[in-house]
């Protein structure tokens, strides 16, 4: 009895220590990027705020409902955080909770992923704590995984759900309970959660049927069909329920973001995208893991069956990555589930291969692992350092450079709250602008999304100039050229430049602001004052961003805020 208790205690301590150690390393790497979160994350922040405040899942209070987010699970988690006072209320130990809560939630998701790694490893190896520790270290040094898990976006919860699905299937195969009601319904529900975490997550609904097909023997077809139907029900009920809500609330079966981005149909050339994942991870390390997998798969065993079960959701994550069109945010944003599932499988097969190898084999494998690991870690370090120096569109830059400056101009011009501003960077604007935000990139605008779906930029300009007629327009980068505004004579005829950065401006400073001419036509002094105001205030933000783009932007974010003196 005493020995049994001691064994359980050691088992628990090993699990706890490995999960905590891995989570701590992940937190250390995440701190490398400071308070940075990408502006697209703030779009979901705005929806969660308005939902929690009773305005419904809308971009701004009182506007037409448009599904400008594509991560309902993450949005609901943030809304819950606001309801219980953990998000969008103020500071915690001096850190704004709009930074602390999403990043803290992401860290909890990472800890849960490592816990699932331990659960899976305990089924197939006598060294589960070692597997978990290796997985924790591997995820902690992976810049892509850390950057996007802690970007404010849904990546962490998406990776967690994908990992949970894979581990449930693995445990079902390993224990012979794959076809039970519990496993079948659980896999369907988890696939639904994946699909409600990101649109491409629906692909995981295929994981359980594929695994069942691989492991069904002659005579087991009726039980297999029953299990697949139960899994389908577990998927359809929650996911179909949200589709019904989407149709009733937004009038569409797809999120507006998917329509605006016009995801093309997959082609055979998309397979080549998998090479970018291999290159990022490091070819040598991937090669070592593949060799270990091949050795594990040589003879029938529970380990081999478990790896087959794990390879199915992993393969689906690779397919989803390849099918999605390239993302402008960089650092393989859509690869997060690949990192989680690949690390789980890779750690297991490497540990088991080393454990079962003879002394000479262990020495050779250890040397290969050292060389491969050094190569991969060097690559991760270079990627992370590069991204930290110039991260993509910090949402606090948008808050300070666009939203607060625009609010100041609106106050100067005495514009009412019902006035409109056309923008590209949407998140920070939706959180802080007191004006009605018109999303010229179409993510949160139904009409513009329909134009962008067919690349009808002329139609969008017709809509903007003739129907919407925003009082202010704020464009970044080359969007004035991409949308055809710069080439359209109506833009110059109807709008006056308040500020336009030089074309060679740094990323944070490449911005232009325009005001509708009829608002300042008869008051040249007011126009000059507005131009001077935007030039000075934008210059301050751009100068501070060149050295401090990883900071937060105040204790609280509220509509109507203007630049601090």
- The predicted-structure confidence for 317-338, as pLDDT tens digits, reads as follows 999 999 998 888 889 999 999 9
Buried b (16+ CB within 10 A) or exposed e, 465-488: beebebbbbbbbbebbeebebeeb
Domain range annotation of the chain: 14-389, 395-548
Distance CA 563, CA 537 (A): 7
pLDDT of residue 477: 87
Strand ordering across the sheet containing 420-423? 436-439, 420-423, 472-476, 511-516, 495-500
Q: Scan for tokens 């529900």, then name that residue.
A: 189
Distance CA 225, CA 222 (A): 5
pLDDT of residue 528: 96
Interstrand relation of 436-439 and 472-476 (parallel, antiparallel or unpaired): unpaired
| CA distances in angstroms from 10 to 6, 13, 126, 127, 518, listed in the order given | 6, 5, 13, 12, 76
Length of the chain: 565
Burial of 314 (0-12, 13-18, 19+ CB in 10 A): buried
Residue 107 neighbours by CB under 8 Å, 6+ apart = 23, 26, 27, 30, 150
Distance CA 356, CA 188 (A): 36
Q: Which two tokens stand for residue 517?
A: 């001419």
Residue 422 near residue 472, CB atoms below 8 Å: yes
- The 3-state DSSP composition of the chain as helix, strand, coil percent (nearest 5) reads 70, 5, 25
pTM for the complete prediction? 0.95
Distance CA 318, CA 124 (A): 24
* HEC sequence for 44-101: HHHHHHHHHCCCCCCCCCCCCCCCCCCCHHHHHHHHHHHHCCCCCCCEECCEEHHHHH
Q: List the pLDDT tens digit at each of the 565 positions of the chain.
A: 556 566 567 788 889 999 999 999 999 999 999 999 999 999 999 999 999 999 999 999 999 999 999 999 999 999 999 999 999 999 998 999 999 999 999 999 999 999 999 999 999 999 999 999 999 999 999 999 999 999 999 999 999 999 999 999 999 999 999 999 999 999 999 999 999 999 999 999 999 999 999 999 887 899 999 999 999 999 999 999 999 999 999 999 999 999 998 877 778 888 888 999 999 999 999 999 999 999 999 988 999 999 999 999 999 999 999 999 888 888 999 999 999 999 999 999 999 999 998 888 889 999 999 999 999 999 999 999 999 988 988 999 999 999 999 999 999 999 999 999 999 999 999 999 999 999 999 999 999 999 999 999 999 999 999 999 999 999 998 899 999 999 999 999 999 999 998 866 666 778 999 999 999 988 999 999 999 999 999 988 888 877 667 888 999 999 999 998 7
- The predicted-structure confidence for 197-221, as pLDDT tens digits, reads as follows 999 999 999 999 999 999 998 878 9
Among 427, 425, 434, 393, residue whose Cα is nearest residue 558: 434
pLDDT of residue 4: 58
- The predicted-structure confidence for 234-271, as pLDDT tens digits, reads as follows 999 999 999 999 999 999 999 999 999 887 777 888 88
Q: Which two tokens stand for residue 83?
A: 């309801």
Residue 199 near residue 325, CB atoms below 8 Å: no
Q: Would you give the DSSP letter of residue 202?
A: G
Distance CA 470, CA 276 (A): 41
Q: Scan for tokens 């900071």, then name that residue.
A: 551
Buried b (16+ CB within 10 A) or exposed e, 153-190: bbbbbbbbbbbbbbbbbbbbbbeeebbeeebbbbbbbb
Q: Which two tokens stand for residue 285?
A: 């390390």
Distance CA 53, CA 48 (A): 8
Distance CA 235, CA 78 (A): 23
Distance CA 436, CA 203 (A): 36
Distance CA 166, CA 311 (A): 9
Distance CA 304, CA 501 (A): 59
Residue 524 neighbours by CB under 8 Å, 6+ apart = none
Among 393, 550, 549, residue whose Cα is nearest residue 32: 550
pLDDT of residue 357: 87
* HEC sequence for 423-467: ECCCHHHHHHCCCEEEECCCCCCHHHHHHHHCCCHHHHHHHHHHH
Could you please state the CATH topology (level 3) that the domain comprising 395-548 is classified under: D-Maltodextrin-Binding Protein; domain 2 (3.40.190)
């Amino acid at each position: 009895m005493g020995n049994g208790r001691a064994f359980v205690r050691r088992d628990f301590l090993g699990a706890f220590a490995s999960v905590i150690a891995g989570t701590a390393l992940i937190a250390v790497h995440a701190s490398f990027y400071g308070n940075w979160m990408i502006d697209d994350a703030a779009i979901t922040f705005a929806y969660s705020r308005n939902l929690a405040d009773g305005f419904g899942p809308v971009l701004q209070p009182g506007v037409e409902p448009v599904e400008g987010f594509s991560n309902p699970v993450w949005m609901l988690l943030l809304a819950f955080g606001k309801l219980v006072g953990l998000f969008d209320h103020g500071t915690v130990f001096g850190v704004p909770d709009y930074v602390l809560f999403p990043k803290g939630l992401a860290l909890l998701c990472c800890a849960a992923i490592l816990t699932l790694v331990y659960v899976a490893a305990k089924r197939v190896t006598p060294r589960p704590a070692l597997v978990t520790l290796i997985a924790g270290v591997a995820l902690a040094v992976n810049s892509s995984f850390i950057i996007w898990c802690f970007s404010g976006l849904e990546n962490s919860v998406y990776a967690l759900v994908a990992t949970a699905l894979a581990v449930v299937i693995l445990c079902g195969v390993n224990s012979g309970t794959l076809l039970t009601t519990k496993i079948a319904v659980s896999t369907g529900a988890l696939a639904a959660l994946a699909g409600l975490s990101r649109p491409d997550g629906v692909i995981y609904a295929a994981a359980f049927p594929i695994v069942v097909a691989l492991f069904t023997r002659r005579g087991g077809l009726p039980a297999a069909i029953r299990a697949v139907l139960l899994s389908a029900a577990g998927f359809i009920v929650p996911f179909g329920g949200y589709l019904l809500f989407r149709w009733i609330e937004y009038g569409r079966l797809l999120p507006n973001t998917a329509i605006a981005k016009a995801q093309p149909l997959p082609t055979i050339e998309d397979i080549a995208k998998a090479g970018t994942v291999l290159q990022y991870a490091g070819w040598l390390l991937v090669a070592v893991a593949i060799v270990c997998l091949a050795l594990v798969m040589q003879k029938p065993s529970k380990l081999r069956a478990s790896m087959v079960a794990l390879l199915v959701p992993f393969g689906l994550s690779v397919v989803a990555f390849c099918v999605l069109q390239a993302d402008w945010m960089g650092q393989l944003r859509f690869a997060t589930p690949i990192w989680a599932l690949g690390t789980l499988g890779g750690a297991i097969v490497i540990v088991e291969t080393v454990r079962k190898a003879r002394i000479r084999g262990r020495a050779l494998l250890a040397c290969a692992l050292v060389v491969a690991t050094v190569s991969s870690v060097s690559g991760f370090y270079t990627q992370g350092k590069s991204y930290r120096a110039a991260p993509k569109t910090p949402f606090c830059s948008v808050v300070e450079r666009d939203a607060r400056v625009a609010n100041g101009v609106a106050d100067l011009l005495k514009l009412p709250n019902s006035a409109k501003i056309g923008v590209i960077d949407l998140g920070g604007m939706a959180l802080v602008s007191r004006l009605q935000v018109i999303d010229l990139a179409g993510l949160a605008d139904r009409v513009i999304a329909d134009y962008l779906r067919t690349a009808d930029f002329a139609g969008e300009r017709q809509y903007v100039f003739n129907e919407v007629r925003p009082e202010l327009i704020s464009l970044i980068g080359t969007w004035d050229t991409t949308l055809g505004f710069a080439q359209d004579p109506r833009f110059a005829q109807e709008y006056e430049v308040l500020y336009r950065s030089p074309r060679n401006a740094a990323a944070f400073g490449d911005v232009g602001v325009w005001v509708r001419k009829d608002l300042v036509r008869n008051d040249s002094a007011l126009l000059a004052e507005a131009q001077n105001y935007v030039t000075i205030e934008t210059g301050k933000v751009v100068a501070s961003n060149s050295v401090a783009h990883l900071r937060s932007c105040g204790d609280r974010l509220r509509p109507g805020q203007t630049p601090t003196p």
